[in-house]
Structure 1
Amino acid sequence: MPKVLVFGTGSLGTCYAWALSKAVGQDNVTAICRSNYEAASRNGFTVHSTLWGDNLTFQPRIARSVAEAVRQLSLDTQQFFDFVVVAAKAVPTDPSIAEIIGPAIVKGKTAIVLLQNGIGIEDEYARLYPESPLLSTVAYFPATQVSPGVVHHKEVELLHVGTYPADAPQAHKNIAREFVELLGKGGATAKLHDDIQRKRWAKLLVNSSWNPICALTRLRDREFIEVSLDLGLGAGNDKWGDGARFIKDVMMEIASVAQAYGYSDVNEETVDFQIGRAVVRDLPGVQPSMLGDAFEKRSMEVDAIVGNVVRLARKKGVNVPMLRTIYLLANGLSESFSRKKLQG
């Protein structure tokens, strides 16, 4: 059976660790834990899902570090991981996450799976581990860790998977297919794509707009629309109001960058569809991950989700003044949390 290391056991990492445990057996899955280490060591993990079922408990191997996880394999017949799944948030660390997972990567044997938000997040992994299959994913999976080791999941569950780069060797494409099949065996839904970046750009329309805007305003998406219906900003003829018009303008900037990189189907029609989803939600609406981080005064995934889009736009000469402003403000907010922790 394949052996899997899951680096990061928040809500998303825990749920996919459960699916992989079902596929390969929980003894073949190792979870790297930080704040939930004690709870997971004692009780394992519990997932309450409206789609998969309630009170799903499992107890994979638990480790505090990658080095410890590798040591745990020393008595096994197979002493390497087939897959290292990176499910930690894509925030800057020193050393970087790509460097931290190094001891678990065996050249030619270990595939790296990035279960993270954002764009342009694969480059460092590709540079450090050029011979390792690199799988990039896009998750639609609303879940929350309500207490250490306990996750609630609802509504939707889908993981898009593809190699990075899109023209990776056929052997790497085969590994991507194997990973998708493992998830299916474990009860999860995964789809394989030749070019996963198209899915990343489509999700960025939502992530790069709603995430920082909700964090900066401390409002959920539907609340933001409600409080800015008619502020006299010229969207009076727009059925969605001033706030939604602003969101659309930001999304159109993101779409213009995607189009500059060859993804013409990330367009106004896609933008209108995403805004239409938000305006029909019941109040208070969805709480994006950055809003949750802002409430808890945690560092946010500003660079991966917003900053990298602005930088990619600059490389192509695409003007994104609204997104650039949002990035500067959201970065300042995130940095303020880090500085207060250092001072406190």
Structure 2
Amino acid sequence: MASSNKPEKPIHILFVGAGAVGCFYASRLHHVGTEHPLLSLKPRSNYKAIADAGNVQLQTHSFGNYAFAPYAVFPNIDAAVPSASSSSPTAAAAATPPSEGWDYIIVTTKALPDRTDDTATIAPLVSAKSCLVLIQNGVGVEEPYRKRFPHNPIVSAVTVISAEQIRHGVIRQNRWTRISLGPYGHGLSTTTPSSDDQVTRLSDERMRSLAQWWTELGGIRDVESHTELELQTIRWHKLCINAAFNPTAVLSGGRGNADQLTDAELRIHVLGIMNEIRDAAPLVLGAPFPDTLASPEKIVKSTERNTGGRPSMLLDWEAGRPMEIEVILGNPVRIARARGVEMPRLQSLYALLGSMQRMREERGKGKL
């Protein structure tokens, strides 16, 4: 936000799930020499490294190398809950939540609704003024938050970035910085209230402030603000990439995105999934994909050049972690089916990956 428009009180922003993506975008909101906004982190496995060092080391293709010192670092959710006795932290590694509550809570954790209820996890952090920002993969991720927090502004976000945590507290950004933002009012059902209702208006206002900070303070040139419908369209378009390459990487025996395309049958398979989503999404959303969004053929051509890339679902499978099956496969199948649209390719992937995960877990528990 431009200096002439700074609020009297500092803006407190908490990133929940501060991995590679969270730390990168947090670091681009942090601006040395200004008191607005104040960035805090609730990391996971990297908490000790960040707390001990008092900063996160960034190695970036877009902005060079630098250190980001968060305003506060919290070991768990309970430690980040504001209370009347809280005082503002005075050092980078101090862990005292703001007594006035969090203005923005930005969630960058993996979306695993079959394993955890993230809305219940963050509920103690949320006050009447809190804006929830969801930088998560898949579709249908917002609705549980809207049900639990019916009056809070919600911003939905889709990012295109290649970033990784090469070791705890050290983040490397390889390519891209794009983040697309959109308000989330009440979803896109036929009972959606008018776009000028209060929660939608407030969500839009908070989205625009956030976009302005990332642009003016963070120097990210490709921050995009959208309407709710536009952002949901972008979510379904990104699904063309995630739902095609991620499950195929696991089911093909560990082939990366570009490598999949060197196999003639896998290439047909990947394009088939993308076209199935591209055909179904307009029927779900009630609006066609705009020509500005890349076609499956263009996505494939671009992917061919990104050799060596290994999608997150494959990394999770190889590490024995739960995969984001529900938001990338299950939700789109269910959402489309509720509107009378079948997605047989996605349904097959959903059934197979879900079974693979369940069978491995049951074997690990000695049930098979």
Which band: TM-score by shorter chain? 0.7 to 0.9
Matched, 1:220 2:256: yes
Alpha-carbon distance in 2 for matches of 1:252, 1:12: 28
Matched, 1:303 2:334: no
Displacement of 1:110 after TM fit?
A: 0.5
3-state SS of paired residue (2:25): helix
Displacement of 1:145 after TM fit?
A: 0.7
Q: What code does the residue aligned with 2:126 have? A: I
Q: Does the CA contact (< 8 Å) of 2:163 and 2:175 recur in 1?
A: no
Displacement of 1:216 after TM fit?
A: 1.9
Displacement of 1:27 after TM fit?
A: 8.7
Matched, 1:74 2:68: no
Alpha-carbon distance in 2 for matches of 1:34, 1:137: 21
Alpha-carbon distance in 1 for matches of 2:302, 2:287: 22
Matched, 1:194 2:204: no
Alpha-carbon distance in 2 for matches of 1:264, 1:9: 35
Scaled by the length of structure 2, the TM-score of the pair is 0.82
CA RMSD between the two structures: 2.4
Structure 1 303/329 Cα, relative in aligned 2: closer, same or farther at 3 Å? same
Q: Which residue matches 1:118?
A: 138
User: Which moved further from structure 2: 288-297 or 63-72?
Assistant: 63-72
Displacement of 1:71 after TM fit?
A: 4.6
Deviations 1:86-128 (A, max 9, x none): 0000013665111111111111x11000010000110110011
Q: How many residues align?
A: 328
3-state SS of paired residue (2:45): coil
Displacement of 1:343 after TM fit?
A: 5.9
Matched, 1:272 2:293: no
Q: Does the CA contact (< 8 Å) of 1:113 and 1:135 recur in 2?
A: yes
Alpha-carbon distance in 1 for matches of 2:364, 2:35: 40
Q: Which residue matches 1:58?
A: 69
Matched, 1:142 2:162: yes
Structure 1 57/328 Cα, relative in aligned 2: closer, same or farther at 3 Å? same
Deviations 1:227-252 (A, max 9, x none): x23xxxxxxxxxxxx32111111111
Q: Which residue matches 1:39?
A: 49
3-state SS of paired residue (1:169): helix
Deviations 1:47-70 (A, max 9, x none): 110101114342431112222012
User: Which moved further from structure 2: 75-84 or 124-133?
Assistant: 75-84
Alpha-carbon distance in 2 for matches of 1:117, 1:317: 24
Structure 1 178/271 Cα, relative in aligned 2: closer, same or farther at 3 Å? same
State the identity %: 25
Alpha-carbon distance in 1 for matches of 2:247, 2:35: 38
Q: Which runs of 5+ in 1 are unaligned?
A: 230-241
Displacement of 1:29 after TM fit?
A: 1.9
Structure 1 343/85 Cα, relative in aligned 2: closer, same or farther at 3 Å? farther
Q: Does the CA contact (< 8 Å) of 1:27 and 1:60 recur in 2?
A: no
Structure 1 176/342 Cα, relative in aligned 2: closer, same or farther at 3 Å? farther
Deviations 1:278-324 (A, max 9, x none): 23x26x44211111112212111110111111111211222222111
3-state SS of paired residue (1:323): helix
Q: Which residue matches 1:205?
A: 240
Map 1:1-344 to 2 at 5 A. 1-22=10-31, 28-43=38-53, 44-71=55-82, 74-76=86-88, 78-92=99-113, 96-107=117-128, 109-165=129-185, 167=195, 168-184=199-215, 185-188=217-220, 189-195=222-228, 196-217=231-252, 218-226=254-262, 228-229=263-264, 242-261=265-284, 262-265=286-289, 270-279=295-304, 281=305, 284-336=307-359, 338-339=361-362
